[in-house]
Amino acid sequence: MPALTISSVDSTDAIPREAWDRLCPPGDPFLNADFLAIIERHGAAGPDWGWVPCHLTASDEQGRIIGILPLYVRFNSHGDFIHDWSWASVYQQLGRSYFPKLLSGLPHTPATGPRLLVAEGPQASTIRRALIDGAQSVASAHNMSSWHVAFPNEDDCNELRAAGMLISHNVQFQWLDSGCGDFDGYLATFAADKRRKVRAERRKVAASGLNIEVRHGNEIDPAEWPALHALYASTFDKFNNHAVFTAACFADLAPALGRRMVVFIARDGGQAVAVSLCFRSDETLYGRYWGCNGQYHSLHFELCFYQGIAYCLRHGLQRFEPGAGGEHKIARGFTPTVVHSAHWIADPAMRKLIGRHLDVQGDAVANYRDQAAAHLPFRCEN
């Protein structure tokens, strides 16, 4: 193959939109020029939150971009979901620096997908490997401790493993369509006692007098975002955390993403009192943010889980990923699913130490997945 040129740019906007559109998966709500560029412009993926873009491109001899690797210099681990806090602690105990590190992934978004953005073809693997080598070269040239790839899809994970990267394991709880048709059909797959519990929760929400709306991004007036944002931010305030997205950021994302943003809103007398902010591709719904300004029995389950499942069934989506964590999702039919990230550790001794840890982790995570799956609410078929 002719020589490739690997370059680094300091923003999503520095890469032509045509290249993003050509190389990103069609319909993906996060991996596209709109989402990444907007959150960078508004600072959610900016230096104030420990994200500095340095995306890699691979270009052919004619200067045409044929590969993209989203890449950020990270100065903390907030919002990347790879759970490397203990690694940073070990580095600190040894008197060494873990940060800055490099990360390829979606800021504040633990969604699985491609990370090595290359069009399929006979040279695809070569281009992917050039991007991998390029990221490792950036980390080495700047004396960074590591490079991480958060939640790559199976093809990219295999490519990264073949390149010698370590693979970590975690569990997310995901809803998978079993061909049940509608929500009643879905509940028919539950054991009787579990089915009664879900119906009781939904009745309590219905009896509360709240009205629930389902709106897409392009159906929300920009003037509504301050109130919706205040609900979103209230969840972070309750846990002494920080809401990185601003109302202006959401107001820009909504029309740009259009139907790729899905917002479930509960209203009391016309006033929004709770919100569940989701995103969607052609196959998957992604739950991201929840907020509420009052006490409403079972409303969290209704807005964050049941409305999302019903939406998937109406619109033919095959999967619902409601976000990281949350064993309470099991009782609502979200299956424990193993997800992976990949890691390049610069120091050989630390690489060996972390590698041993990940070998043990893999077995533990698989055991946890199996134990958690035993508590799913579905009927046992003998």
pLDDT at residue 62 is higher than 60: yes
- Give the angle 41-111-375 at the CA atoms, nearest 5°: 145
% residues pLDDT > 70 (the chain): 99
What is the band of 350 on the pLDDT scale with cuts at 50, 70, 90? very high
pLDDT at 114: 97
What is the band of 273 on the pLDDT scale with cuts at 50, 70, 90? very high
In tens, the pLDDT along 182-203 reads 999 999 999 999 999 999 999 9
pLDDT at 96: 96
pLDDT at 330: 96
Report the residue count for the chain: 382
Whole-number Å distance between alpha carbons of 311 and 225 = 22
List beta partners, residue 345.
Answer: 146
Whole-number Å distance between alpha carbons of 351 and 362 = 16
In tens, the pLDDT along 119-171 reads 989 999 999 999 999 999 999 999 999 999 999 999 999 999 999 999 999 99
Q: What is the pTM of this model?
A: 0.96
Of 161, 24, 176, nearest in space to 106 by CA: 24
Of 142, 145, 171, nearest in space to 87 by CA: 145
pLDDT at residue 208 is higher than 70: yes
pLDDT at 325: 75
Q: What is the mean pLDDT of residues 228-249?
A: 94
Q: What is the mean pLDDT of residues 314-342?
A: 94
pLDDT at 380: 81
pLDDT at 1: 56
% residues pLDDT > 90 (the chain): 95
Q: What is the mean pLDDT of residues 174-189?
A: 96
pLDDT at residue 365 is higher than 70: yes
What is the band of 112 on the pLDDT scale with cuts at 50, 70, 90? very high
pLDDT at residue 381 is higher than 70: no
Indicate the Cα dihedral angle 188, 192, 193, 196, nearest 10°. Answer: 50
Whole-number Å distance between alpha carbons of 15 and 34 = 12
pLDDT at 239: 86
pLDDT at 382: 42
Task: Indicate the burial class of 141 (C-beta count within 10 angstroms; 0-12, 13-18, 19 or more).
Answer: exposed
Q: What six digits make up the tokens of 61?
A: 């001899």
Task: Indicate the burial class of 229 (C-beta count within 10 angstroms; 0-12, 13-18, 19 or more).
Answer: buried
Whole-number Å distance between alpha carbons of 104 and 97 = 20
